[in-house]
Structure 1
Amino acid sequence: MDQRFSRQLALTNFGDTAQKNLARSRVLVIGAGGVGSTVIPSLAAAGVGTVGVIDDDRVELSNLHRQHMHRLLDVGHKKVISAVERVADLSPATQVVAIDQKLTPQNALALFADFDLVVDGSDNYPTHYLAADAAEITGIPMVWGWACEFGAQAGVSWPARGGGFRDLHPLPPELAAVDMNAVHGVFPGAVSVIASIVTSEAIKIAAQVGTPLINRTTHYDAFTGEFTEVLYERAADASPITELTDYRALCGYVDTDEWPTC
């Protein structure tokens, strides 16, 4: 086992304690798509003990240019099954909890209660707000990241330690202004870079090393190769989140009863 993780154990300020923290950690990943496709196997490879994956979607051919966990022969199959198979090939010691569901206000709190950390790799604002609120209520940190076109961003929502997702985004954008990958496209390099940053933040928090991206977000422009950082802080008048709400209505999804896919 030491040989498998020898390059991590050799890191200054990492070592045995951090590796044992990873082995005890339970991380829930929302979405097995672009971001999750990189995060899930990377967490397993690093030695995270339990990785939960929640996604009810199936692999499509258009996914494969950026969702490298899935293969051509997985097209048409459930993404959570593909995730289980890839992790089993890579790290049999990692337990994978496959949750073939959408994350909703009805199941979020019960699911989050079984984990220490959540990674939001979804691509819609109702799920972003739901995940952030459920994480705050259950008292666990949330690492988030997404990409659209050539741009991508990532951060950590952890109101117990600093700013949360709602401090950065007090109100959702207008529905018409929300970039959708199916319409605007997504550059695979942007996804890979931001997913690696999300993975790094999740590993640091789970291993209890380094400085998480609290009160700041990282933005990456793959078209120019530039990184920028946006600073924010906990709102002085912020009230603790104590219950979940109707996130479809909050984000303008008023013409459908369907919950958005992660």
Structure 2
Amino acid sequence: MDQRFSRQLALTHFGETAQNNLARSRVLVIGAGGVGSTVIPSLAAAGVGTVGVIDDDRVELSNLHRQHIHRLLDVGHKKVVSVVERVADLSPATQVVAIDEKLTPENALTLFADYDLVVDGSDNYPTHYLAADAAEITGIPLVWGWACQFHAEASVSWPARGAGFRDLFPTPPALGSVDTNVLHGIFPGAVLVIASIVTSEAIKIAAQIGTPLLNRVTRYDGLTGEFTEKRYERAADAAPITALSDYRHLCGYTPADEWPTS
């Protein structure tokens, strides 16, 4: 076994079986922004065999204070290109599948079917609901996390084994009530903390160790340094998700609105 993983292999609850599970795993990451830019290299460094990255955005100068996989010379370039280059330097054994697209109801199920696990690092509710529903239909776990201003939260959505995203968020918030990083800013420490939690959950699930953050949401306040946890359960009357829909309408967008960038 590669010496680079020796510190993981020495863990009591890890070992060669878990490392081999990681090497065989295929993880799709939605978004190469704040959360994704930490999760992607961390998964590769841990030994995940295949990491898919879907994002059609370009690197902006304002991204760099929290999106550490990208460099100053990457500004203006496609984020997926930057990701492929950085992971190749870090972990050549990891195959990176760069998907220069937006995640939409038209491509989600086909993409998800090729992976064992999905990480949602996007920053908009249409994509959150789409990712959660597509993961439920394809029967794979979804690890999600986001941050805005000083606050961040993360959880695991896995209706086959417990509660799902819709059990925590039965309906999306009103469009005008949602804070955005562009208008309200974002604390880089909150992004890094929640991305580390997302990474841990993804590695645990892919390696088949530990207990996933299921039926619980972890919240972090960057101003106070406090963590809180809220439990939630699978709704007794929850109808199974069998098809995808236009989540722009669900989340208050108009049909004329372009699908949000992940």
TM-score bracket, shorter-length normalisation: over 0.9
| Match status 1:19 vs 2:12 | no
1:181-192 pair list within 5 angstroms: 181-192=181-192
Equivalence for 2:131: 131
Distance 1:252 1:77 in 2: 31
Equivalence for 2:29: 29
- What's the offset of the Cα at 1:256? 3.1
| Match status 1:161 vs 2:177 | no
- What's the offset of the Cα at 1:13? 1.1
1:1-262 pair list within 5 angstroms: 1-254=1-254, 256-262=256-262
**Which amino acid in the other structure matches residue 87 of structure 1?**
V
Distance 1:149 1:24 in 2: 37
SS in 1 for 2:236: coil
SS in 2 for 1:5: helix
Kindly indicate whether the alpha-carbon contact (under 8 Å) linking 2:249 and 2:255 is maintained by their aligned counterparts in 1.
no
**Which amino acid in the other structure matches residue 20 of structure 1?**
N
Distance 2:39 2:68 in 1: 11
Kindly indicate whether the alpha-carbon contact (under 8 Å) linking 2:28 and 2:117 is maintained by their aligned counterparts in 1.
yes
- What's the offset of the Cα at 1:2? 2.9
- What's the offset of the Cα at 1:257? 3.1
Distance 1:221 1:124 in 2: 20
Distance 2:225 2:181 in 1: 20
Distance 2:245 2:55 in 1: 21
SS in 2 for 1:44: helix
Distance 2:52 2:178 in 1: 28
- What's the offset of the Cα at 1:255? 6.1
* Structure 2, gaps ≥5 residues long: none
Distance 1:96 1:261 in 2: 20
Distance 1:52 1:152 in 2: 24
SS in 1 for 2:4: coil
Moved beyond 6 Å, runs of 4+: none
Kindly indicate whether the alpha-carbon contact (under 8 Å) linking 2:248 and 2:255 is maintained by their aligned counterparts in 1.
no
% same residue: 84
Superposed CA offset, 1:59-112 (max 9, x none): 000000000000000000000000000100000000000000000000000000
**Which amino acid in the other structure matches residue 169 of structure 1?**
F
CA RMSD of aligned residues (A): 0.6
Q: What is the aligned residue count? A: 262
Distance 2:255 2:168 in 1: 27
Distance 1:260 1:2 in 2: 41
Q: Which TM-score applies when normalising by structure 2?
A: 0.99
With 247-256 and 139-148 compared, the bigger mean Cα shift is at 247-256
* Structure 1, gaps ≥5 residues long: none
Distance 2:255 2:170 in 1: 23
SS in 1 for 2:211: coil
SS in 1 for 2:35: helix
